[in-house]
Structure 1
Amino acid sequence: MIAPRRFLPSIPSLLALEAVDRLGSATAAGQELSLTHSAVSRQLKLLEGQLGVTLLVREGKGLTLTAAGASYARSVRDCLQDLAQASLRLRASGPRDSLSLALPPSFGLYWMGPRLHAFLRAHPEILVNQSTRSARFDFAREKFDAAVHYGPEDWPGVHYLPLTRDRVIPMAAPGLLAGGPLTAEAIRGRPLLHLDSRPGAWEEWFTQHGVEAGQLRGMLFDQFSPMAEAAAAGFGLALLPDFLAEAERARGRLVPAFPDYLEMDRSYALVWPRNAEPKPALDLLIAWLKTSEALPLQRRRPL
């Protein structure tokens, strides 16, 4: 149930307030909204009258938002953005049911992407919208139906569907490995590339292979893709997950610097909020991801 209509201001009034807050003047707001200065002022007066709160202080020809007005404008901006996104999703999907997924960039492209293609071939009546997210967020604010989470089950208030374990391998440009794969000790002496969202990944890899890591220094990246680009350019070795390592090897840009994968003590999982009934389309995706076609149980062979 929504609030009574007396608490729901008109869209033009809300647009005027948001524009004045963002642009700093009624004149600039009017230019953006194709309204005159006086028309913007009228919308703001109507809004103040409806709410019974002073939202702006008029100083000559200028307008300054009060603290209450600025706070309300922020809430209005969020609501208008939600409305615009909902309208865009509806316009894009038309009569088809749609899903909005938040995916880590490389995982979404190389692991989830092929599976979503197969899912959509089986369910052409569904449209899947995708956005990149690498960290946890608030489902209530971001309006996603589901997301892929990497790491331990530390996202509160969500269901978990395990997808795949994290398996990594050092990769390098072919020119850096003329003699073939290296030992872990030899890798320790090469330039190493690091991912800021996975601190300690190289240290863990060396520890698992019986090598003292010591102080590891090298170039730092915020995503796998630019790190793989740097590795392909010969700047150092990159510790990559299997789905990206195999894609880069198939392209001929990177080759394994070590014979085997290392399975890390972390995994990827599909998550969705516990406090909301999942859409029928999400139920179909969850059921499909549980099939052997989507999640083969056999281990991939080493590269």
Structure 2
Amino acid sequence: MKQILLPLLLVLTLALSACTPAATSTPPPAAGQPQPFQVVATTSIVADVVKNVGGERVSVTTLLPIGSDVHTYEPTPQDLAKVADAQLVFVNGAGLEEFLNVLIENAGSADRVVEVSHGIELKDFGAHDHEHGDEGEDHAHEGEDHAHEGGDPHTWTDPNLVKIWVENIRAALTAADPANEAAYRANAEAYLKQLDEIDAWIREQVAQIPLENRKLVTDHLLFGYFAERYGFEQIGAIIPGYSTAAQPTAQEIAAIEDAIREFGVKAVFVGKTVNPNLAQRVAEDTGIQLVGLYHGSLSQPGGEAATYLDYLRYNVSQMVNALK
């Protein structure tokens, strides 16, 4: 359906623009001031990191609204206009933003796309710490999209991998806007220091959790990089894949509940943008806590996870409080 409708998006956008003033993410510069470099970022997490590297010299428009699930997002005509007008388009990459493929093609922006996860060695699809269920059983996940078969796209769950994002963003901004190379480099170095500090803080917090309690069950597989970095075991997920678009079978629900009991898991963590019904059922069946986390989106500005660093602090604090 997307391939049929998306070629019409440009026409719809032009019609909308005829009667609606264009939205801007920042006020126009004062007289005599240089125009900010105009970029688009797909998610609020990518946008926040780009803002930290770009600083005042870059105006960042975020494509997905706060609270959106990138796995199920449907692009709009306005999205096409934003992508077409951007000087650079920053994406997570690693197959995460599947919705963007046709949008980029229609906007003619392929040469302006920057994958911030470029250069990160991706974890293999399905390679989590504990495989639950019958290995010989071939379950078909209803509605599951296998776009992530090449690797786990959730690279932002480990701030050490986001340091690679920072370098990719700095290099792309410098190549497109070399006059501000020094500013981009200084901003990147300052943010890299903050990422090192948050990494040390996470290690201190995780040390409060007994080793036998460092077991994660989530709504879908997204904390693989985090678990590997900080010594957790991913027991599994309610949706045994990297996308929330899938629907688990009854056998898979039973298998994850058996694993929770077998390994003494203390909590199931569910994303704030995900329907919690299945996770609530699993928590009730097994008698464990249901704990909310932020996954692919930040909170509203001024909220508990308004920046990427706040996002990490909130999620880690929730984990520690549930598992220690």
TM bucket normalised to smaller: 0.3 to 0.5
| TM-score, with structure 2 as normaliser | 0.32
Please report the TM-score for the alignment, with normalisation by the length of structure 1. Answer: 0.34
Larger strand proportion, structure 1 or 2?
1
If you compute each CA radius of gyration, which structure gives the higher value, 1 or 2? Answer: 1
